[in-house]
A and B are shown apart, each in its own frame.
Chain A
């Protein structure tokens, strides 16, 4: 299923998320089970299936990583079930450093300050990755597609790191 088509977007990485949210609500009004509560069982079932599709499409297009993955999947580059990892040594070194920093938070004098600093570094690095990704996705060259896939893998690493940081922060606050 091409979610760009479902939401009437041309397949580009930089979409207007406000327009996306607006179209999502319009689509929901058209297909949601509540609108068919009084209809036949068959129509209700169809409505549940279609709404599930609309929901998945919205989540996919809303999230930059998933949107990029979807674009690449439409070009025949499937990242969802792959086992390929990032081979960029500099990137991996940086990941290790950040992971050590995560470990150290507990022993730091001002944990909240360390956490905030990390959040900031992560955000900066992600912005850079996303910028490169945007450029690569503008190109229709196969090679650029593969390079874009690498950026997506790195962004996934960053997302995991971000999750772990929030977990550390939770443990601190609870």
Chain B
């Protein structure tokens, strides 16, 4: 019989200690942070009582301004004030410049074609700008909650591709924040709504934000939120309404060849006009030119509706396709939940109501619901609610494929497949003695590589030299619960595991990430060695804590001898972790991992056995 274990005082965490975790809605226009506190979930205000932080970053000679302060300078200093940075995430500079919209920023390109903003503080990429938006939100949360955060859940549009998701995660990593999960915005809204309403059945989440549109169809069933299908457009949002209004006013006032200062001024006025038309049948647009001339123009709701009708219709077409993918009809949809500030536009509400045949639900605050759902998920993932039966089953929004001969795409994982997912595909060599193979991974629904988004290229090396067609290489594509892809490969006849170098097409290279990390640490006045050691020590503590919890729960799955070995190795990890050799700690953790592999598998099988306990095997 195993003896009871008593931990060294101060060494192990108390079992019911409340861990701090928050949900962050990193929006195109506004960002929010929310947390669960004594059972209540709410967004956290700043010192001035403001909940939303405008997602605007201004770089000056000696400071970085974020939020309302940056917004104030937006009209005067458009070159260095970056708005809607989310629209640049995971995009190449060529992509952006091919678009219709012009930007007041000075751009440069990174080594793999990512856009860089040239600012008085040097070149910054969209990931770094996003990190600047996250920074004050995290500081606000730590101050309000009174401690360091154990982790965050960050929301992303459901329709974000792999590069856009990876970029979002990297932004948090730059700040040294642990991302518990990337959560799809409509799914986050569904959690907040579903837990509140206790509704069961099929619901639709129509999420029109500043820069993105998502439609998700979910089935809610006793705590399980199952996404049936998701669709949308990661480059369509309320911002586009503003741009249409701006173009309209430029035309009416016959303003050609305008500078970026006036352009930004017009854009700000367009947004105001759009918002005014939510309640009014008409409003007056007004700008003052540099020479003092005042221009005014009445804009009616009917005119505005006519301008945006095409875009709204596009979202409805997405709804129709997504419902079909989900295999449900509009009659089966119990409720349509509206999320995102742009769903305040009356035409949007009217069209959604007409399509679904029932008035959409607008009683919940469309601006806060996403952050609140993320906070609920963060609270559970960090371990504050072990008894919770909430479970999210999300899907991959876009198909994953690889390039084959002739620039065609071979689909490996199709869209709306529930994640995590793993698919293996076999390939063979084309020439005798071939030892390497190049792969190109793309994301999208079209048949030609050129019409899909390039995700990554990787080269398989170390294939044993055999006759053409004799080597069988099994490549496994795995998409985790964050919707992120990883690839592993193995040559089947020899069992040789091939090495893979994945080079993200629109993401950062490893060297770029390393440089950015170094830069971020320069500011924090830390040295890398110390940080590495601290990270390993935290990791060791985490591993020991998790394992202790696992042993307390499932220790009876081990024999006394096995248990003895694991205990000894754990003691070793604890001891090495008190030293200052980061590599030694890493090795000790790896050794413990190796030793507990079998235990981990047994726990998983046991978990399945317990789930089916009491269920009879039918049809026998």
Which positions in A face B, CB cutoff 8 Å?
8-10, 12, 15-16, 19, 23, 25-35, 37-43, 46-53, 55-56, 58-59, 166, 170, 173-174
Residues of B within 8 A of A9 (CB): 617-619
Which positions in B face A, CB cutoff 8 Å?
180-181, 221-222, 224, 226, 317, 320-321, 324, 380-383, 389, 391-393, 417-422, 478, 480-481, 543, 546-547, 549-550, 593, 596-597, 600-601, 603-604, 607-608, 610-612, 615, 617-620
In the assembled complex, the CB of B329 is this many whole angstroms from the nearest CB of chain A, namely 13
Are A8 and B600 in contact (CB-based, < 8 A)?
Answer: no
Assembled-state Cα–Cα distance A26/B320 (Å): 31
The residue in chain A whose Cβ has the minimal distance to the Cβ of B419 is A55
- Ordered by A's residue number, 30 sampled pairs between the chains whose C-beta atoms are within 8 Å are A9-B618, A10-B618, A15-B619, A25-B224, A27-B608, A29-B224, A32-B393, A33-B481, A35-B607, A37-B181, A37-B380, A38-B383, A40-B600, A41-B543, A42-B596, A43-B546, A43-B550, A46-B600, A46-B601, A47-B604, A48-B481, A49-B422, A50-B604, A52-B478, A55-B419, A59-B417, A170-B317, A170-B321, A173-B317, A173-B320
Are B422 and A31 in contact (CB-based, < 8 A)?
Answer: no
Q: Contacting B615 at CB < 8 Å: which of A8, A43, A55?
A: A8
Are B393 and A31 in contact (CB-based, < 8 A)?
Answer: no
Residues of A within 8 A of B380 (CB): 34, 37
Residues of B within 8 A of A28 (CB): 224, 391, 393
In the assembled complex, the CB of A1 is this many whole angstroms from the nearest CB of chain B, namely 12
Known contacts A28-B393, A37-B381, A43-B603; 11 additional CB pairs below 8 A are A9-B619, A10-B617, A10-B620, A25-B222, A26-B612, A31-B604, A38-B381, A41-B593, A43-B600, A46-B604, A56-B421
Are B617 and A32 in contact (CB-based, < 8 A)?
Answer: no
Q: Contacting B546 at CB < 8 Å: which of A38, A46, A47, A58?
A: A38
The residue in chain A whose Cβ has the minimal distance to the Cβ of B592 is A40
Assembled-state Cα–Cα distance A58/B224 (Å): 15
Are A29 and B391 in contact (CB-based, < 8 A)?
Answer: yes
Are B317 and A29 in contact (CB-based, < 8 A)?
Answer: no
Assembled-state Cα–Cα distance A76/B180 (Å): 43
Q: Contacting A166 at CB < 8 Å: which of B324, B381, B420, B593?
A: B324
Which 9 pairs between the two chains have the least Cβ-Cβ distance? A30-B611, A52-B422, A37-B381, A10-B619, A30-B607, A38-B383, A48-B420, A26-B611, A55-B418
Given the known interface contacts A30-B607, A30-B610, A55-B420, the answer about A48 and B224 at a Cβ–Cβ threshold of 8 Å is no
Are A34 and B620 in contact (CB-based, < 8 A)?
Answer: no
The residue in chain A whose Cβ has the minimal distance to the Cβ of B613 is A26
Residues of A within 8 A of B421 (CB): 52, 55-56
In the assembled complex, the CB of B231 is this many whole angstroms from the nearest CB of chain A, namely 12
Residues of A within 8 A of B324 (CB): 166
In the assembled complex, the CB of B323 is this many whole angstroms from the nearest CB of chain A, namely 12
Given the known interface contacts A30-B611, A37-B180, A166-B324, the answer about A55 and B389 at a Cβ–Cβ threshold of 8 Å is no
Given the known interface contacts A16-B618, A26-B611, A174-B317, the answer about A51 and B420 at a Cβ–Cβ threshold of 8 Å is yes
The residue in chain A whose Cβ has the minimal distance to the Cβ of B222 is A25
Are B420 and A27 in contact (CB-based, < 8 A)?
Answer: no
Residues of A within 8 A of B417 (CB): 55, 59
Are B607 and A31 in contact (CB-based, < 8 A)?
Answer: yes
Residues of B within 8 A of A42 (CB): 593, 596-597, 600
Residues of A within 8 A of B543 (CB): 40-41
Assembled-state Cα–Cα distance A174/B317 (Å): 6
In the assembled complex, the CB of B169 is this many whole angstroms from the nearest CB of chain A, namely 15
Assembled-state Cα–Cα distance A161/B400 (Å): 23
In the assembled complex, the CB of A57 is this many whole angstroms from the nearest CB of chain B, namely 11
The residue in chain B whose Cβ has the minimal distance to the Cβ of A58 is B418
Assembled-state Cα–Cα distance A15/B417 (Å): 22
Assembled-state Cα–Cα distance A12/B610 (Å): 25
Are B221 and A25 in contact (CB-based, < 8 A)?
Answer: yes
Residues of A within 8 A of B478 (CB): 48-49, 52
Are B392 and A33 in contact (CB-based, < 8 A)?
Answer: no
Assembled-state Cα–Cα distance A40/B593 (Å): 8
Assembled-state Cα–Cα distance A166/B327 (Å): 12
Assembled-state Cα–Cα distance A27/B481 (Å): 16
Q: Contacting A23 at CB < 8 Å: which of B221, B383, B593, B615?
A: B615
